[in-house]
Amino acid sequence: MIREPRCYTVPDVLEKLQMRATTFKRLRRAGALPFLEELRPRLGRRVRYRADLVDQYLAGEWGRGVAVFGRRAR
């Protein structure tokens, strides 16, 4: 049985969000991706993010009515 990982690395998140690295970095620094929670400790330099929160966001279950990319949900 194949299990989903409980954490995603940056390349995993980029693939899931279908986003370029520069866009991801800009939005993360601006705080526009609130569903990303960094796991500690890091594995070397690799940043890991909680997979359950990313999956909730992609399923549309994260912060209903909250503007993530600068536009309000209507």
- The predicted pLDDT at position 61 comes to 79
Q: What is the pLDDT of residue 8?
A: 92
Structure confidence at residue 64 (pLDDT): 58
Q: How far apart are CA 30 and CA 40, in angstroms?
A: 21
- pLDDT the model gives residue 3: 66
Domain that holds residue 50: 7-58
Q: Is residue 74 part of a domain?
A: no
- List per-residue pLDDT tens for the chain, 74 residues long: 666 568 999 999 999 999 999 999 999 999 898 889 888 888 788 889 999 889 888 888 766 544 555 555 55
Total domains present in the chain: 1
Residue tagged 């049985």 (tokens): 1
Query: Does 40 fall in a domain?
Result: yes
